[in-house]
Structure 1
């Protein structure tokens, strides 16, 4: 097996468009050395974004603009970025969506709300549909949709209303569009996830939420009679069960969690008052986190009377418990933290303090291993960022650091790498080979450098990091 490419596109991801870095750099020896990408000799090429095929990492598409931003081209590679073929395009790409199973099929959503498809890795493009809603385009789901060439989308009709439509990429026109639901739906409400399709429809100031299971007919989602939702967010559709967050009419910055039957129709309340936050572009973030690697395990931050506390469930919400506090701190001193008045609390999806990232680290290939920043006490304190770890999926916890760190799991969690999350230059890396019980230090550079994070070579068994 050859080594895969390691990609670094300079600063263009984090700086304003006017100062994007003209070229990317590429490494094929795990970051030991880098070479500059020469896409067009003698021509300055600005890389806007890049996409790696999920089913064949050798296939890569770069999206580039001219310096005037009036033209775009694609650069296509089938050899991990060693060589590229330029492909001019007649539209401006907003995002590309690779097919989840078939490596040469790609959807392109444009800045003009049009949807194009290519079946040859971007060489030729065909217009599928106009007036398509951003982020409401979905490829067929393997094992659920019978046709792998089917595309689900939300599109605006000529009357201005929005519809849920599907079409086959090789035969897509206004005449061949299929409407699985005949009526109008609310703008930006379509979600296709696993066995389920969801959307909402509002008429005469009343909003109804619909679900289809296994691509069957749509039926109303049935919440308890006392529930009067003003918003509903899908949290999870794992294991043929829907987990949703519902904001009731009286709630401002919290949501209630509900759990469904297998068809996603009937719902039962499992946890009240999970905190929420309005982020950029009016998107909502619910402070509930699915623990990767172990099915049915979720962490949630509950907010009652201004106090935020962290809870965990092992059965997808039927039962919730507080996080058990460690009896000693990282120095072996007693914590004097005794339930029911004192527990461990973690920043999950975000932190109100801008200097705390609020990231909890879990990984599919390291089941049971969870690391996060937080504090001991009666509630979560926004400025506290002590680091805690569990190796038994939250049954017991230990403190490992006094400050927040960037974390990387290597070799199924057999090695944990950590580096302090700080704005000052660093040269020391910490690592543990015993699930955080003990830590060693390594000087990775002779001169201190600014560190944004840690990256690993793709693959669960790797011990290579950047």
Structure 2
């Protein structure tokens, strides 16, 4: 390799930022080195165990639970692997299976050649001991170049399935190639595809042999034999989603084109037999998504007019218009979070404002109440809305004030009430601060390079949240520190100075962190066995490395952590290095009953014993590890909890449709623009009259008795439109009703004759019978342009093995054409106008 090429290689290496990525399902199959969800840990008001004390920072005096002998054990269980003679400028890794210790690592060196294809080289490595040792297995993929954006695609659960997507052709006419493995990457078979994948191939959630993917020319393809054979399902697919069972939803244009200007003219189709037959469930579609148990569609009733949101809870059999403001071309809808109970919906404000209103739905997804004003949602598509998974009902997000500052707020009751985060007791505010609280950095901060990680939490680490934050009036551009809460966000403690990468091990019993540097070599890792009160420093290598990522096995059960980076060497060369630390030999004692303590979640210790801890209608008491206990929870650890119901209070209710809560008040008052108006809404095609005193119970709330406000929905004897009904005025209906009656029988006869001729004379298409399984998708947002429509991470897959597809749009066009010509034959210009 000559010197110029060496220089080019090094520059490309730097330009690529030596990125380290992890691929696979966003749920729990693999992790990026920059872990995503962050939650909060320590609570001085509600002590976890008697005698527990909080430390304000890493330099405060602590009694180390780790001895010199323990550090010697840690040294013996630290393993470094250098990827010698590897020219890769980026690294992709993924765990295969749960608790197997198998890791696949793909190193890539690529140079863009065309608009779609890259050219470069790939090396594939495999580890069976959680990254302590690696074997170069590039020969099993015949040293083929693997596409960086697709990386390593691992199957669900312990399926042992792996897919690699290769680049083998430089033209669209030639298809792509995949490598498939049934044994966790020990061996691979290659399959030449009749198409180029336009996205990572997705798996069925329970049958990993079923695969589904969209090609770069917008064709939906299916395999039921783990990629050996593929079947074309439908052409001109703009977006697709899996519903419950074997249901597939997808959007397409009736004219067979997918221009951006035609959004709002799409059809939403559904197949319940994996492509044998199709039905159209919605017209005039702009975008759609399936999340929780809700099918959500953005509909353009009339071209040029704002869009409206329609929701179905029966997979598209019926739709109801969501009681939300409509969205213009400059606005968008975004589903922030949804489950089987309710939907958090962001509705953008008109103009380039970077904020909007958050609404929460009833259990049907139809009636919405205002939850949070001025919610930050940048034009770049970044929102800081975070579900704190370590405690039920808790969500974090940021709001944009009128002066342009960004503040953090938190809710403990699923959006019923939002409040500023409490200031950590160990941090002082500037004397000129008008208001002082903690502000958490989210996705927006990461996109602006203000923080390296999102907040982190996990259901197995009850109440624990770790996040980057600032204390003051609002979020600042100063490098943030790391804060921890151990009570689900009620109280916080500053735990580390400056930005860090962090992760949870052993169900929160161990926290590991690494200072975040982009260009300074380092050799020290920090770890805590008491939820961040005290930190121990450990030099994991003799020769410092440039940090690239922190990686641990999916979930929080593992005791291994891998630190990735590269080691600069003489000249222009740099070597990728992985250092795996096994903490299992450090914490050698299994936890016993005395190591745990009962902890009442959401407790405020304010003297009201009967209602203390009552959130969403019940109390939860958890069995949690004491801070002072230095032991291993283990892989078999299961969170134990006890639930007790509470009497209903106003806090168990959200403000109903047309009502809102004023700041610092539990009272629901009528919105000014709803005064003296009847609250009517359309439900299943019938007009409903809502009689309410302003309160509706929070979906999922389990309270009983106590405060029980009156609320009824009366059905009025009026029909109303849905997303699928063509709206016409009453006068026009009266004028044409006789004409319609006169020709309806004739059209029915002609239509029947047309279908009979088509079926028995022209012949029908044959489709094979199929087996099918359940699959799910997780979606994140419903927004305006192509990269802002309901898109999300495909959590699982499903497939279909039919050899043909049934295209409804072709038949509909043929039928309409036949009827129109028949009407023209009758010479009725009026009727042509009517039916066109």
Identify the TM-score tier after normalising by the shorter chain: 0.7 to 0.9
Q: What residue is the counterpart of 1:275 in the other structure?
A: 376
- The answer as to 2:239 corresponding to 1:153 is no
- Paired residues in the alignment total 443
CA–CA separation in structure 2 for the residues paired with 1:79 and 1:337: 62
Kindly state the Cα deviation for residue 421 of structure 1 after the two structures are TM-superposed: 1.4
Kindly state the Cα deviation for residue 12 of structure 1 after the two structures are TM-superposed: 5.5
Q: What residue is the counterpart of 2:560 in the other structure?
A: 464
CA–CA separation in structure 1 for the residues paired with 2:155 and 2:400: 41
Kindly state the Cα deviation for residue 323 of structure 1 after the two structures are TM-superposed: 0.9
Question: Are the aligned partners of 2:110 and 2:118 in contact in 1 as well (CA < 8 Å)?
Answer: no
Kindly state the Cα deviation for residue 15 of structure 1 after the two structures are TM-superposed: 9.2
Q: What residue is the counterpart of 1:222 in the other structure?
A: 323
Q: What residue is the counterpart of 1:293 in the other structure?
A: 390
CA–CA separation in structure 2 for the residues paired with 1:397 and 1:13: 44
Unaligned 5+ segments in structure 1 are 142-147
Kindly state the Cα deviation for residue 303 of structure 1 after the two structures are TM-superposed: 0.9
Question: Are the aligned partners of 1:288 and 1:298 in contact in 2 as well (CA < 8 Å)?
Answer: yes
Q: What residue is the counterpart of 1:185 in the other structure?
A: 285
Q: What residue is the counterpart of 2:533 in the other structure?
A: 437
* Structure possessing the higher radius of gyration over alpha carbons: 2
Can you list the C-alpha shifts for 1:201-227, whole angstroms capped at 9, x where unaligned?
A: 122423111110132401111127999
TM-score (norm 1): 0.88
Q: What residue is the counterpart of 1:45 in the other structure?
A: 144
CA–CA separation in structure 2 for the residues paired with 1:12 and 1:201: 44
Q: What residue is the counterpart of 2:444 in the other structure?
A: 350
CA–CA separation in structure 2 for the residues paired with 1:207 and 1:226: 5
Alignment partner of 1:322 out of 416, 420, 428: 420
Can you list the C-alpha shifts for 1:311-345, whole angstroms capped at 9, x where unaligned?
A: 0001111111111111214xxxx557899721011
TM-score (norm 2): 0.50
After superposition, the Cα gap between the structure-2 partners of 1:14 and 1:314, relative to the gap in structure 1 and judged at 3 Å, is farther
CA–CA separation in structure 1 for the residues paired with 2:137 and 2:358: 48
Can you list the C-alpha shifts for 1:148-204, whole angstroms capped at 9, x where unaligned?
A: 3321111222265411111245543xxx211122x2201xx1101121011111224
CA–CA separation in structure 2 for the residues paired with 1:328 and 1:13: 48
Q: What residue is the counterpart of 1:90 in the other structure?
A: 194
CA–CA separation in structure 2 for the residues paired with 1:26 and 1:169: 39
After superposition, the Cα gap between the structure-2 partners of 1:44 and 1:71, relative to the gap in structure 1 and judged at 3 Å, is farther
After superposition, the Cα gap between the structure-2 partners of 1:338 and 1:296, relative to the gap in structure 1 and judged at 3 Å, is farther
Kindly state the Cα deviation for residue 137 of structure 1 after the two structures are TM-superposed: 1.8
* 1:155-170 equivalence runs, <5 A: 155-158=252-255, 160=257, 161-168=265-272, 170=274
Q: What residue is the counterpart of 1:123 in the other structure?
A: 228
Alignment partner of 1:27 out of 102, 122, 127: 127
Can you list the C-alpha shifts for 1:104-148, whole angstroms capped at 9, x where unaligned?
A: 111021111111111111111111111111xx322233xxxxxx3
3-state SS, counterpart of residue 412 of structure 1: helix
Alignment partner of 1:78 out of 173, 182, 185: 182
Alignment partner of 2:240 out of 137, 140, 162: 137
Question: Are the aligned partners of 1:353 and 1:382 in contact in 2 as well (CA < 8 Å)?
Answer: no
Kindly state the Cα deviation for residue 50 of structure 1 after the two structures are TM-superposed: 2.1
Can you list the C-alpha shifts for 1:215-246, whole angstroms capped at 9, x where unaligned?
A: 24011111279999932111111251111001
CA RMSD of aligned residues (A): 2.7
CA–CA separation in structure 2 for the residues paired with 1:458 and 1:83: 23
- The answer as to 2:408 corresponding to 1:307 is no
Q: What residue is the counterpart of 2:349 in the other structure?
A: 248
3-state SS, counterpart of residue 296 of structure 1: coil
Kindly state the Cα deviation for residue 444 of structure 1 after the two structures are TM-superposed: 1.5
Can you list the C-alpha shifts for 1:31-72, whole angstroms capped at 9, x where unaligned?
A: 11111223457x440112221111334111111112747552
CA–CA separation in structure 1 for the residues paired with 2:495 and 2:120: 38
Alignment partner of 2:464 out of 354, 366, 369: 369
After superposition, the Cα gap between the structure-2 partners of 1:353 and 1:228, relative to the gap in structure 1 and judged at 3 Å, is closer
After superposition, the Cα gap between the structure-2 partners of 1:367 and 1:112, relative to the gap in structure 1 and judged at 3 Å, is farther
Question: Are the aligned partners of 1:350 and 1:358 in contact in 2 as well (CA < 8 Å)?
Answer: no
Kindly state the Cα deviation for residue 460 of structure 1 after the two structures are TM-superposed: 3.5
CA–CA separation in structure 1 for the residues paired with 2:220 and 2:325: 39
CA–CA separation in structure 2 for the residues paired with 1:247 and 1:2: 43
- The answer as to 2:163 corresponding to 1:61 is yes
CA–CA separation in structure 1 for the residues paired with 2:421 and 2:128: 43
After superposition, the Cα gap between the structure-2 partners of 1:349 and 1:90, relative to the gap in structure 1 and judged at 3 Å, is same
CA–CA separation in structure 2 for the residues paired with 1:73 and 1:39: 16
After superposition, the Cα gap between the structure-2 partners of 1:15 and 1:251, relative to the gap in structure 1 and judged at 3 Å, is closer
Q: What residue is the counterpart of 1:399 in the other structure?
A: 494
Q: What residue is the counterpart of 2:609 in the other structure?
A: none
3-state SS, counterpart of residue 350 of structure 1: helix
3-state SS, counterpart of residue 318 of structure 1: coil
Q: What residue is the counterpart of 1:144 in the other structure?
A: none
CA–CA separation in structure 2 for the residues paired with 1:66 and 1:103: 25
After superposition, the Cα gap between the structure-2 partners of 1:386 and 1:460, relative to the gap in structure 1 and judged at 3 Å, is closer
Question: Are the aligned partners of 1:152 and 1:165 in contact in 2 as well (CA < 8 Å)?
Answer: yes
**Structure ranking higher on relative contact order (CA contacts 8 Å, 6+ apart):** 2
Of 363-372 and 152-161, deviating more is 152-161
CA–CA separation in structure 2 for the residues paired with 1:320 and 1:13: 47
Can you list the C-alpha shifts for 1:350-390, whole angstroms capped at 9, x where unaligned?
A: 21642533521122332321111121111111223111111
Question: Are the aligned partners of 1:415 and 1:434 in contact in 2 as well (CA < 8 Å)?
Answer: yes
3-state SS, counterpart of residue 190 of structure 1: strand
After superposition, the Cα gap between the structure-2 partners of 1:405 and 1:307, relative to the gap in structure 1 and judged at 3 Å, is same
Question: Are the aligned partners of 2:510 and 2:529 in contact in 1 as well (CA < 8 Å)?
Answer: yes
CA–CA separation in structure 2 for the residues paired with 1:19 and 1:179: 42
CA–CA separation in structure 2 for the residues paired with 1:459 and 1:259: 29
More helix by share: 2
Unaligned 5+ segments in structure 2 are 1-97, 258-264, 563-836
